Amino acid sequence: MTTLISWISFDQRKFAAAYVASDSRITWDVAGKKRWDAGRKVFPSKGFPDVFAYAGDVLFPALALSQIVEATDAGVMFPSDATPWQRHTTIFNALQDSFRRRHQAADCDFSILHLARSDQEGGPSVHAWCIEYNVGSQKWLDRILHVPSSTGVIARLGTGADAARDYDWRWNRDEPLSRSIFSSFCDAISSGEDALSGGAPQLAGFYPRHAARAFAVRFDNEMFLNGLPFKQLPHGAQLEARDRLFHRIDASTGNLVAGAQVHARPKDCKP
């Protein structure tokens, strides 16, 4: 199950942002008929430039990542000056330690994506890993992912990866654009080509400075945060939002924010 992607964006050859996006469908059958279209799959830290997401099995990754992010933000996982590699090693060990505490539990394969920013001298840089657990071998694999030096996709995971790749090609045949990567991802989910992916897109990421953040997403004329629909923001609440064309929009009204660049859908990419 799941369509999960991550990508990096550059503006005039300078790092601008890194993102993780996922669908919101959790299924209990291979046809996708028994499903929940509002399950959380993306977990940004509020205290560090780290974002996590999962594909495959739901129960362990979803529960463990929620604990790990909470512990990270509470300051009990690692010191505030820990490097991305130190943070990743700590988190990888914590996942394995938590998994060992399962007893007679049903196991399924899963993948966990970790996207992080380094703030060392020389400017910010982005790093990515994919942690995988294989039931057949009962072994863990920790892979370092290649991060492009220009705007482009870092990883596609899950049962919808092929559909996401196909729609990305339709949008980005020449030079990849960050907004087009997200728009093609939304089209892949809406297409229904992968029955195990669906619901609203979830989006999180980080900029060259500050911690990671979750973004609200307007999809099918509704506003969502981490797959959860909401009607409006309380007065004074601050939340960045995007629509499926990656416009910067007001999370309360759905309208473009002042000064937002208007994006166009390619003529041969029907919604």
pLDDT in tens, 4-50: 999 999 998 899 999 999 999 999 998 899 999 999 999 999 999 99
Task: Tell me the domain boundaries of the chain.
Answer: 4-250
Task: Give the closest residue to 11 by CA, choosing from 179, 128, 146, 131.
Answer: 179
**CATH fold group of domain 4-250:** Glutamine Phosphoribosylpyrophosphate, subunit 1, domain 1 (3.60.20)
Q: Write out the DSSP string of 108-140.
A: --EEEEEEEEE--TTS-EEEEEEEEEETTTTEE
pLDDT in tens, 77-105: 999 999 999 999 999 999 999 999 999 99
- With 0-12 / 13-18 / 19 or more C-beta atoms within 10 angstroms meaning exposed / middle / buried, residue 132 is middle
- Hey, is 228 helix, strand or coil? strand
pLDDT in tens, 179-189: 999 999 999 99
Q: Tokens 């092929």 label which residue? A: 162
